[in-house]
Amino acid sequence: MPESTSDTDASGGRLVLITGTGRSGTSTASGTLSHLGLHVPGPYLGANRSNPKGFFESKWAVKFHKRLYEQACINDFDGRPEAIELVREAITPALRDELRAFLERVSKGHGQIVVKDPRTVWCQALWADAAADVGLSIRYLSMLRHPAEVLGSRTEYYASGADDARRRYYATCSLGRWINSCVTNERETRTARRTFVRYVDLLDDWRTTMRKVRDDLAITYDSDVADDVAHPVDEFIDPDLRRVQVGWDDVDVPAQLRDIAEQAWQEQCVLADADGHDEAASNRMDELGDAYAQVLRDAQAVAHDASEQAVRKAEVTAVRKEREAVRERAAHVAPDDPEPAPQESDRSTFERLLGKARSVSSRVRSR
């Protein structure tokens, strides 16, 4: 198991970063660690219908990641292999300083900190660097849930009212994001102290699961997790939280993506059973990442004409709307206005707006 010099220092602080894909039990893991005495800094995102027990997710971290990913022009759970490079290019010294200040503030008086946000997948190295700067050694807890269940859960709560075509599109896109996030997460954490936890294991037997987490991550709890001792986590963890239980037959996705995802699930289960580290499993995850990237390239090539048509349509629509807005503003200029707004000729207005639209479409193509 990889071990840094800070891991051997019993007096050093710990930062447990809970990652994984959304809808995989990350909130349950964070809440459980909170009940076991680790510090989960708030304020948190509030509970809702999709997560009635609460997220145990720092609002600060969510806002931080959203700002960063907006600058990088990626989705929170992006399906493009290059997403992580786009994020690295968007990280500024100011953002590094913000993260260091946050960790320094929330770690005062606390030896073990937990930050849960699946969005950390794209900037785990940033968190590790910031943690080291403030004297915290980092370890990663990756939650695992079968991809078919993740798709079923996401579709249930985020695309429930969509028609069949839209739901298939959403499921396919979500599966690509699941694969890309899993591959990236495994690659970015493989040299660190880490553990992988199946969501179903946490729900079925939290004591055995959390004892393994404790040993894998070299952390401590403030209470006994023996089988015969009652604990508040007994009330917190509700097996009914796993409300969506589906298999591949219940989700409509391309067979090639389904096969890659299933293999990625199996390899991560190997890592879960091997205390987070298995060289052969990591090598196979690299191979699956390459296979997924090829599928994405093929899909982009096939969809080239449709994408170009959408860009051209967007250009024309943007120009038309801008010209209509210019004419509407001009029509509302009062006849006796002592200083009427200068008017452009139709040709110059069109050229200016077309240039603006083409600039936008160029950025769209580059993405």
pLDDT (tens digit, 9 = 90+) per residue, 306-334? 778 888 888 788 888 888 888 887 777 66
| Confidence check: pLDDT of 358 > 80 | no
Q: Give pLDDT, residue 332.
A: 73
Q: Give pLDDT, residue 22.
A: 77
Single pTM value for the model: 0.81
Specify the higher pLDDT residue, 92 or 351.
92
Determine the average pLDDT of the residues in 20-38. Answer: 90
Contacts of the segment 153-162: beta carbons below 8 A, 24+ positions apart: 153/23, 153/50, 153/243, 153/244, 154/22, 154/23, 155/251, 156/243, 156/244, 157/23, 157/49, 157/50
Percentage of residues of the chain with pLDDT beyond 90:
57
Q: Give pLDDT, residue 319.
A: 80
Determine the average pLDDT of the residues in 102-114. Answer: 95
Q: Give pLDDT, residue 8.
A: 39
Give the tens place of pLDDT for each residue, 223-282. 888 888 889 999 999 776 665 577 898 888 999 999 999 999 999 999 999 999 999 999
- Looking at residue 351, what DSSP letter applies? H
